[in-house]
Structure 1
Amino acid sequence: MTAGMALAGRRRGLKCLAGVALAAALPGAVRAQAKGRRLVSLSGALTEVVYLLQAQDQLVGTDTTSLYPEAVRRTAKVGYVRQLSAEGLLSLRPDTVIGTSEAGPPVVLEQIRQAGVRVALVPSRHNWAEVQEKVAVVGRETGRAQQATALMAQLDAQWAGVQAQVAQATRKPRVLFILAHSGSPMVAGRGTAAQALMAYAGAANVIDQFEGYRPLTAEALASAAPEVIISTTQGIEALGGETAFWQRPELALTPAYAKKALVALEASHLLGFGPRLPGAVQALHLRTLQWVA
C-alpha cells in the first residue's frame, strides 16, 4: 500500500468514526440540531471566555490547560494542547474546535478538519490584540457575538486602567522568569509570553540575549542579577515549595536571594493571555514593586 493510499484510508476512518459516534447518540438531523453546537476548547483562555459568555452548555471537551473556572475541571479532557489525538477529539462529536496556534500537532488538526469539523485558531501573539481576538472568536463560534462585544468593552476599560497605572511607576524592577513545570528549570528570553507579561507589568527582563526558553545556569543568573524572581505556583510546587526553591545554590548569586523576592501566580492566570490578563498584569506590577521599594 502506498503512503497516499494509507493517508486516504486513515481520513476515511476518521470521518467514519465521527459519523458513527454521532449517529449512535443522535439518530437524526433534527435531534442533532436540537442539541445545539458542540464545542471543544484547546485553550484555557478561550475556555474562560466561553464561561464568561455563558456558553458552557455547548462545551463538550477541553484540553488540560483549561482549569478555570472550577466547573471546567469536570469537562471531558482531550489531553495536552500540543499533544492531541484526532480519535480522542472526534469521540466527543464536536461541531467546532477552538484553540490557538500553539495547538497540535498540525497533522492532528488537519485530520480533524478532514473529518468535517470546523477548526478556529487564534494566533499566539502575546499582546492585547490576541485577547480581543479570542473574545471575538468565541462570540462568533458560540452564536454570542453581541455578548462578546459587550464583554470586550469591559475588558478594554480594565486594560486601559491597568496600563495607566503601570505608566505612573518611576521604577522598573529587574526581573527573571523561571519556568519549572517539569524537568530542569528554564529561564524566559525574548518572544515568550513571560517576556511580554513582564514588559506590560513595567518590569525589565534581565534575559535578552536569546529567544524562547533555555536551561537555568548559575553563570546566567550571576550576570543577569535579577532583583525579583517570577514563576508560576505550579512551578514552585514542582520544585518542592518555596523553601526548597530558595535552597537552589545558583539563586544565592542573585540580588533577589537576599530578600527571597519571589512573585508566583497560577500558570493560566499569569501566562494565559485571556480575559484575566489585566488582573495578572496589575498583580505582577504591584508585587514586583513591593520587593524593590
Structure 2
Amino acid sequence: MSKSLDFRRARPWEVALTLLALAAPIALPFTAGGDGGFIRKAVAQEMQQADTSRLVTIGGALTEIVYALGEEKRLVARDSTSMYPEEAMKLPDVGYMRALSPEGVIAVNPTAILAVEGSGPADALAVLKSAGIPFETVPEGYDRAAILKKIDAVGTFLGVQEKAKALEEKVGAELDAAIADAAKRPESERKRVLFILSVQNGRIMAAGGHTAADGIIGLAGAINATDGAFEGYKPLTDEAVINAKPDVIMVMRRPGADSSDEEILAHPAISVTPAGQNKAILRMNSLHLLGFGPRTASAISGLNKELYGKSGNVSQ
C-alpha cells in the first residue's frame, strides 16, 4: 500500500507534482474537445459577468429597459433623463447624461454603470472607467434595429439574455405593427414637419438627419422638412426656414423658459410657412418621443395620430 504524502516533510518538487496530479481531473474538461468546450465557455462567461447588483443607468431608454426586464431592484441611481416609469424618479439623480459629474456617480457606490452612447463629457467618462467600475456603453440609434440592439445589450450585461430575447420579440412585434400602419399613408399625403429644438435670439435650432427627431418623424409617416440638408441640430437662416415649407412645427413639452406657441408662430420666417399660416404646432413629450426605447411603438402611433387624425389635420 502506498503511503500518503506528508506535505510537512515533502520536497518542493514532490508537492508540485502532487498538486498537478490532483488538478488534472478538474483541468481536463477545459483542455479536451467535445463537451469540454461548452464547459470552458460557460465558466469563462461566468468569470466575465460583471457584478450588476448596484447598477447606475445613464439614458432614459436604458432605465426603461431595465424596468421592462423586471430587473429594477439592481438600480441604485439614474440620470435626469430617466423619468419613466414613475418609480424611477424615486432613485437618486446623478445629473444630466451629457454633463455628468464622476463624483456624483461614484458617491452612490455602484458596482456597474450602463451608459447610452453620447453620454459625457469625455473626461467624466474617463474618470469613471478608470475607477475600476464595470462600464458598458450601449450604442445609440434611431430605428427598429437600434431599439432591439439596446435591449440585447442591456440583457447581456445583466446576464438575463432569455428575458431580453422575450422583450425583443414583444417590442419588435409592436414596432412592426406601428411602422406598417404609418407606412400606409401615400407619399403625396405626408406632411412636412420641422422639429425645433430651441429658438434663441430669433435663430431657430432645427433637427437634421441622423437625429432622434428625424428618425421618429420618418417612422410616423411624415417627412423631415429639412430634407437631409445637414446632420444633427443646427441653426437655420430665415430663408432656410421658409424654403423648408413645413406643414407642422414640432417642439418638445419641457419645463422651463421655452418659447410659447404664440412666440414661435409669430417668428417672421415661420409665420409665412404653411405651418405658421395654419397655426399647426405640436408639443410632445421628449422622453417618450425621442427616447427610442421599449415604448417607441406607441410614440410612432401617437405622433401619426397627432399629425393626421381622422380629418387629416393636426390635432389641437
Query: How would you bin the TM-score normalised by the shorter chain?
Result: 0.7 to 0.9
Give the AA of the match of 1:238. Answer: A
Q: How far 1:216 moved relative to its partner?
A: 4.1
Partner in structure 2 of residue 255 of structure 1? 274
Going from structure 1 to structure 2, the CA distance change for 1:254 and 1:181 (only over 3 Å counts) comes to closer
Partner in structure 2 of residue 265 of structure 1? 284
Question: 1:112 and 2:128 equivalent?
Answer: yes
Distance 2:52 2:243 in 1: 57
Partner in structure 2 of residue 88 of structure 1? 104
Q: How far 1:292 moved relative to its partner?
A: 4.5
1:275 to 294, 298, 301: 294
Partner in structure 1 of residue 190 of structure 2? 172
1:234 to 246, 254, 257: 254
Q: How far 1:137 moved relative to its partner?
A: 2.2
Give the secondary structure class of the aligned counterpart of 2:82. Answer: coil
**Cα displacement string for residues 144-165 of structure 1 (whole angstroms, at most 9, x for unaligned residues):** 3222211111111101101110
Going from structure 1 to structure 2, the CA distance change for 1:227 and 1:248 (only over 3 Å counts) comes to same
- Structure 2, gaps ≥5 residues long: 1-50
Distance 1:153 1:127 in 2: 15
Distance 1:114 1:193 in 2: 30
Q: Map 1:218-229 onto structure 2 (within 5 A).
A: 218-229=238-249
Question: 1:288 and 2:307 equivalent?
Answer: yes
Partner in structure 1 of residue 234 of structure 2? 214
Q: How far 1:221 moved relative to its partner?
A: 1.6
Whether the 8 Å CA contact 1:187–1:214 is kept in 2: the answer is yes
Whether the 8 Å CA contact 2:77–2:94 is kept in 1: the answer is yes
Partner in structure 1 of residue 74 of structure 2? 58
Whether the 8 Å CA contact 1:181–1:234 is kept in 2: the answer is no
Give the AA of the match of 2:108. Answer: L
Give the AA of the match of 2:240. Answer: A
**Cα displacement string for residues 179-226 of structure 1 (whole angstroms, at most 9, x for unaligned residues):** 129886411111211111111112111213222111244222211110
Alignment size in residue pairs:
258
Going from structure 1 to structure 2, the CA distance change for 1:43 and 1:195 (only over 3 Å counts) comes to same
Distance 1:43 1:218 in 2: 34
Distance 2:225 2:212 in 1: 15
Give the secondary structure class of the aligned counterpart of 1:249. Answer: coil
TM-score computed with the length of structure 2 as normaliser: 0.76
Give the secondary structure class of the aligned counterpart of 2:251. Answer: strand
2:84 to 68, 81, 86: 68
Going from structure 1 to structure 2, the CA distance change for 1:36 and 1:220 (only over 3 Å counts) comes to closer
Give the secondary structure class of the aligned counterpart of 2:254. Answer: helix
- Of Structure 1 and Structure 2, the greater helix share is in 1
1:246 to 239, 256, 265: 265
Going from structure 1 to structure 2, the CA distance change for 1:292 and 1:255 (only over 3 Å counts) comes to farther
Structure 1 stretch displaced more, 145-154 or 214-223: 214-223
> Larger RCO: Structure 1 or Structure 2 (Cα < 8 Å, ≥ 6 residues apart)?
1
Structure 1 stretch displaced more, 84-93 or 244-253: 244-253
Q: How far 1:240 moved relative to its partner?
A: 4.3
Partner in structure 1 of residue 217 of structure 2? 198
Q: How far 1:250 moved relative to its partner?
A: 2.9
Distance 2:307 2:134 in 1: 42
Distance 1:93 1:82 in 2: 20
Q: How far 1:243 moved relative to its partner?
A: 3.5
Q: How far 1:91 moved relative to its partner?
A: 1.1
Whether the 8 Å CA contact 1:96–1:141 is kept in 2: the answer is no
Q: How far 1:289 moved relative to its partner?
A: 2.1
Partner in structure 2 of residue 136 of structure 1? 152
Partner in structure 2 of residue 3 of structure 1? none
Give the AA of the match of 2:299. Answer: A
Q: How far 1:36 moved relative to its partner?
A: 6.8
- Structure 1, gaps ≥5 residues long: 1-34
